[in-house]
């Protein structure tokens, strides 16, 4: 497994990361254990979760029970910010909440430190400077090693870099955002901002929630244990005529070169200079194997140029 630095930081991460959003919710502890062990055996070192994954805490709890002595061998990333209770009082990015959230995550994960602690979404009710200073304190206390953000707009990412520089605080080294052959909106503003500030990109939904796996057929209902069968809002969002047109063109491109659509999706992300690790979820060990194998396809400059004519882009 290849590894890369997370942006301009010294943190090394595997090119394929394991997204742990299915643990403790969609799949149980034993199924999660098989997926994690397969990922570790194949050289994946970045495991990404969030406090709200797995019905609020389930994913972190699973990882805490699974990792054991192998905790020291991985880069463990988690996030905070989404509601952790029915009343939606436990949420946000205030100093008061962050200090509570990190202790809860550490307890569930059964660890003394978090390698990458990320704000999961913007909090319009809290001054960003308050959030940044609280997160910097966690680094100084040794509870967190590196800081990152997820789903922040480009202007806010730029603001954090300037605010941290002025106040001499630890700043975000990474952004985790949706990015795939079919969803490329971050190329307009966020990616240029990240390049200017030396930040690493951790793309999630690299397979467009499964549309880029090749397992769906245009016009046929999504069946079985699939995302589109479980969540109608995802099917409505991704299963559009324009996306199907792109998928059909991309599938032909990959097949003509002896590869699958899934391999194209991962190979294309691996070729993006800003990408440090591709966050890919899995519910079965076999899916982890396919994801790891997929990044072996090294696309040429001519390939990338042609792909831009086949799929929508910013």
Cα 304 to Cα 309: distance, rounded to the nearest angstrom: 9
DSSP 3-state assignment of 193?
helix
Q: How far is CA 183 from CA 179, 188, 249, 284, in A?
A: 5, 12, 16, 25
CA-nearest of 112, 196, 116 to 155 is: 196
| Alpha-carbon gap, residue 118 to 143, rounded angstroms | 13
Put residue 149 in one of left, alpha, beta given phi > 0 → left and psi -120 to 50 → alpha. Answer: beta
Active site residue 53: yes
Choosing from 53, 97, 146, 197, the catalytic residue is 53
Distance CA 7, CA 31 (A): 32
Tokens of 99: 């200090």
* Assigned token pair, 33: 């254990």
194: closest CA among 163, 145, 150, 132? 150
Please check whether residue 274 is in contact with residue 195, taking contact to mean a CB–CB distance below 8 angstroms: yes
What are the backbone dihedrals phi and psi of residue 157, each rounded to the nearest 5 degrees, phi first?
-60, -45
CA dist 52 → 31, 32, 101, 154, 160 (Å): 19, 16, 11, 24, 24
Give the side-chain half-sphere CA count within 13 A for 100. 12
**Catalytic residue ranges:** 53
């Amino acid at each position: 497994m290849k590894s890369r630095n997370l942006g301009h930081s010294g943190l090394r991460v595997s090119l394929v990361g394991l997204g742990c959003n299915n643990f403790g919710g969609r799949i149980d502890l034993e199924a999660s254990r098989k997926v994690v062990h397969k990922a570790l055996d194949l050289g994946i070192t970045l495991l990404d979760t969030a406090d709200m994954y797995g019905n609020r805490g389930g994913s972190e709890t699973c990882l805490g029970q699974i990792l054991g002595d192998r905790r020291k061998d991985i880069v463990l990333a988690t996030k905070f910010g989404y509601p952790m209770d029915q009343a939606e009082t436990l949420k946000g990015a205030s100093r008061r909440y962050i200090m509570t959230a990190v202790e809860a995550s550490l307890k569930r994960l059964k660890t003394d430190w978090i390698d990458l602690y990320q704000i999961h979404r913007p909090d319009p009710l809290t001054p960003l400077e308050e959030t940044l200073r609280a997160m910097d304190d966690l680094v100084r206390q040794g509870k967190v090693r590196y800081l990152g953000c997820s789903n922040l707009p480009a202007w806010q990412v730029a603001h954090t870099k300037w605010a941290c520089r002025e106040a001499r605080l630890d700043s975000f080294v990474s952004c985790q955002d949706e990015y795939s052959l079919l969803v490329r909106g971050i190329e307009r503003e966020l990616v240029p901002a990240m390049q200017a500030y030396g930040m690493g990109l951790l793309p999630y939904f690299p397979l467009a929630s499964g549309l880029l796996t090749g397992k769906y057929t245009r016009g046929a209902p999504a069946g079985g244990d699939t995302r589109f069968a479980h969540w109608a809002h995802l099917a409505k969002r991704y299963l559009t005529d324009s996306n199907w047109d792109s998928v059909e063109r991309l599938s032909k491109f990959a097949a003509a070169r002896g590869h699958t659509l899934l391999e194209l999706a991962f190979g294309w992300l691996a070729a993006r200079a800003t990408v440090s690790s591709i966050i890919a979820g899995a519910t079965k060990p076999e899916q982890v194997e396919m994801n790891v194998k997929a990044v072996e396809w090294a696309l040429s400059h001519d390939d990338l140029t042609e792909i831009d004519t086949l799929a929508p882009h910013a």
